[in-house]
Structure 1
Amino acid sequence: MKLRKWIAITTVLAMLGMTGCTPAADSAGKAATPDESPADSGAAAATASEFESLEPVNIEDFMGSPVISDYIPDECNLSGTKEDGSKWKLAWCCADDSDESMAFMTGLMQQAADEYGFELVRYDAQSDPQKQTDHINNAITQGCDAIIVNPVDASALSIPMKKAKDAGLVVINSQNRIADTSGYDCYVGPDDTMAAQQMASVLMEMLPDGGKIVMIDGMMGSTAQINRTAGFRGVMQNYPQYEIVEEQSAQWSTAEAMNIMESYLSKYPEIDAVFSHFDLATLAAIQSTQNVGREDEIMFFSVDGTQGALDEIAKNGCFKSTSMQDFKANTAIQVMAALAYLNGDGDKVDKETVTPNVVITADNAGKFEAGWG
């Protein structure tokens, strides 16, 4: 599918609040309203001095998928049935199944249930923290043995998740970490700070002499936005040859990302690179740049790993790299961690199981299938 047609479709989806962006796991993962201007969406005003100093990473260390056995040892008992032959009962508490990445995870959960032989109870919170709280309470009363929770809101879900753990359920915190570590047995998910650190490192390799950079953020105040900003700025602040001239939030909206990029292009005659917090923003920004014939001047970098992004990066054009969340690996590890705990092998799994994103460039983009987007 041509980029212009693809962007037109995803722009409509974004305006309907249906973008397949991973950060929909946060409560703030709603699209901006169509009449919201870039200024209204909230420019990020933080200065470089506010961020922890970070170093570039070795990109070659992140070009392949996570090895599952590095996180779930082979000796773990992963049986989907109890000693009496009955099935373990696991609940998957999804933040919002209308989000394409979350729907992909739901499908993977069902495949795992079929493979391991456990009973899967599926809940869709539809981005409503209260609904997800009710789902967790239902999982307790329905006699579930474990729950895997992708929190709609990391703060609001801490108490109900702790309640489930206190009730004797194994609790796996998926993707969006809650602050209260006593509310889960194991966290399995990505490191958004490292993801942005990866992209800063790739940018520096591809633009070694420095340059002027603009940023397009996700929803201000969301976990992903905070950490992706911290990771990118934490590296860049150490290298004065790189200047971040402006940063604005697109609220996870593709349409808003296009508006922001159009504003940047009119304000800045020189832009060397764009770092976006989500792939759909990058694809939209590329469209805006193509509309004025400046795509050959600018390099684009982002986070997510949608199939659309992988396809564009494989063309070796202006979209240079993305940090891809490996949903297949993360989902498998989450299920396997729950089964390990249920079968008495939880002590063999790290409580904080953080999986690295895969750095996608033109060199390896054709070797991966995102499964969504």
Structure 2
Amino acid sequence: MSKKLLVLVLTAMLIPAGFLFSAGQQDGGEASNLMVIITPDKDNTFFTAEADAAKAKAESLGYTTLLAVHGDDPKKEGDIIDTAIARKAVAIIIDVANADASPNNLKRATDAGIPVFCMDREINATGIAKAQLISNNFQGAKLGGEYFVQVMGEKGNYVELVGKESDTNAGVRSKGFHNIIDQYPDMKMVARQTANWSQTEGYSVIESVLQANPEVNGIICGNDTMALGAQAAIDAAGRSDIIVIGFDGNDNVLDSIMEGKIEGTVMQPNAKNAEMAVELADTYIKTGSTGLDEEKILNDCFLITKENASQWRGFRKK
């Protein structure tokens, strides 16, 4: 076996099975132009759009790409980062697995001389990532909370579905919702449960809640996937009087809004965050600096209702 072939075989063995789901064309195995893009899930439309936007931007700037998923598992995330280090990547663009555990993984990359750029989820540490491109979740949640109160007529019994407790965004969105809703004494929260960003869990939680609390007439959700699960549970219960609000702006929820099944959602600038992360990585690779004074950059969210849902697709305006 030639030395070159041996190197390629050993490098392939470093990629954990099931983590790699797409890659740009590699230039003879050269690692000096490789940008590694890591997201939580290849099936969730939010993360697919994020990965696609980052990949397209990186390749438009002349980089080859390797895309991988960590499944919200910090250990798998660490294995992928080790692969990026072994491949001598020029940058890592990542939507992290865990706000508290991921910094240790990211630090291994930075210690190896690979700059890291976070998108979507932030980490509970500074000085490790060169930049963190984050949706303004608090601002967005306030928009969602204001619209929820409005369509509920400032009164009613509601449920809150919360995302993963390990994800900083889940807590920030919940605080944003309550910053508005709690100002209205006739808005009564009868249940607040996590559904872990999952459509299946959103369905099962709301199915149980409606059985115990048939008086519920509103559900506000920390993401659109849970909102879709909630809406399915409402349909299964034969209810048509329950208002549902989501958060993310995925295409399936936009369709539901236009069909009149879901009342509204908050659109995250998902593609913008991904593209900016890659652009800043490119700037850093070429100049040694992002050119920014702050590590965290917040991009504002948008309220989506039936009036403007048709104007958006793939987390961007048509």
What range is the shorter-chain TM-score in?
0.7 to 0.9
- The one-letter code of the counterpart of 2:195 is A
Deviation of the 1:158 alpha carbon: 0.6
Deviation of the 1:113 alpha carbon: 2.9
Is the aligned partner of 1:333 residue 2:276? yes
Match of 1:351 in 2: 295
Q: 1:215 aligns with which of 156, 160, 165?
A: 160
Match of 1:39 in 2: none
2:120, 2:135 within 8 Å by CA — same for their partners in 1?
yes
Instruction: Give distance in 2, aligned partners of 1:124 and 1:141.
Output: 17
Deviation of the 1:352 alpha carbon: 0.9
- The one-letter code of the counterpart of 2:268 is Q
1:298, 1:318 within 8 Å by CA — same for their partners in 2?
no
Question: What per-residue deviation string (whole Å, max 9, x for no partner) do you get for residues 165-205 of structure 1?
Answer: 24332220122111111111100122333332221011122
- The one-letter code of the counterpart of 2:258 is A
Instruction: Give distance in 2, aligned partners of 1:102 and 1:235.
Output: 28
Match of 2:22 in 1: none
Deviation of the 1:269 alpha carbon: 4.1
Give 1:180-191 correspondences, 5 Å limit.
180-191=125-136
Is the aligned partner of 1:202 residue 2:155? no
Is the aligned partner of 1:279 residue 2:224? yes
Q: 1:96 aligns with which of 19, 41, 45?
A: 41
Instruction: Give distance in 2, aligned partners of 1:128 and 1:293.
Output: 37
Given the two structures, how large is their TM-score scaled by the length of structure 1? 0.69
SS in 2 for 1:159: helix
Identity of aligned residues (%): 24
- The one-letter code of the counterpart of 1:333 is M
Instruction: Give distance in 2, aligned partners of 1:97 and 1:227.
Output: 24
Residues 209 and 96 (structure 1 numbering): CA distance in 2 closer, same or farther, change over 3 Å?
closer
Deviation of the 1:294 alpha carbon: 2.6
Match of 1:324 in 2: 267
Question: What per-residue deviation string (whole Å, max 9, x for no partner) do you get for residues 311-361 of structure 1?
Answer: 11123x241111122322121111111112222251247421112222110
Q: 2:248 aligns with which of 304, 314, 336?
A: 304
Instruction: Give distance in 1, aligned partners of 2:199 and 2:206.
Output: 11
Instruction: Give distance in 2, aligned partners of 1:255 and 1:154.
Output: 24
Structure 1 stretches of 4+ moved >6 Å = none
Answer 1 or 2: higher relative contact order, Cα 8 Å, separation at least 6.
Answer: 1
SS in 2 for 1:172: strand
Match of 2:18 in 1: none
Instruction: Give distance in 1, aligned partners of 2:76 and 2:91.
Output: 18
Structure 2: stretches of 5+ with no match in the other structure: 1-30
Question: What per-residue deviation string (whole Å, max 9, x for no partner) do you get for residues 1-36 of structure 1?
Answer: xxxxxxxxxxxxxxxxxxxxxxxxxxxxxxxxxxxx
Match of 1:163 in 2: 108
2:161, 2:220 within 8 Å by CA — same for their partners in 1?
yes
Residues 240 and 161 (structure 1 numbering): CA distance in 2 closer, same or farther, change over 3 Å?
same
Instruction: Give distance in 2, aligned partners of 1:307 and 1:137.
Output: 34
SS in 2 for 1:123: strand
Instruction: Give distance in 1, aligned partners of 2:179 and 2:275.
Output: 31
Count, aligned residues: 285
Question: What per-residue deviation string (whole Å, max 9, x for no partner) do you get for residues 281-322 of structure 1?
Answer: 323322332344431x2211011212111011123x241111
What RMSD, in angstroms, separates the aligned Cα atoms of the two structures? 2.5
Instruction: Give distance in 1, aligned partners of 2:66 and 2:166.
Output: 31
Instruction: Give distance in 1, aligned partners of 2:39 and 2:203.
Output: 29
Instruction: Give distance in 2, aligned partners of 1:246 and 1:126.
Output: 28
Say which is worse superposed, 340-349 or 351-360, in terms of deviation: 340-349
Residues 220 and 144 (structure 1 numbering): CA distance in 2 closer, same or farther, change over 3 Å?
closer
Is the aligned partner of 1:231 residue 2:180? no
Instruction: Give distance in 2, aligned partners of 1:219 and 1:348.
Output: 30
1:277, 1:302 within 8 Å by CA — same for their partners in 2?
yes
Instruction: Give distance in 2, aligned partners of 1:182 and 1:250.
Output: 32
Residues 122 and 249 (structure 1 numbering): CA distance in 2 closer, same or farther, change over 3 Å?
closer
Instruction: Give distance in 1, aligned partners of 2:233 and 2:87.
Output: 50
Question: What per-residue deviation string (whole Å, max 9, x for no partner) do you get for residues 120-149 of structure 1?
Answer: 233333443223213223323432222112
Give 1:249-260 correspondences, 5 Å limit.
249-260=194-205
- The one-letter code of the counterpart of 1:314 is M
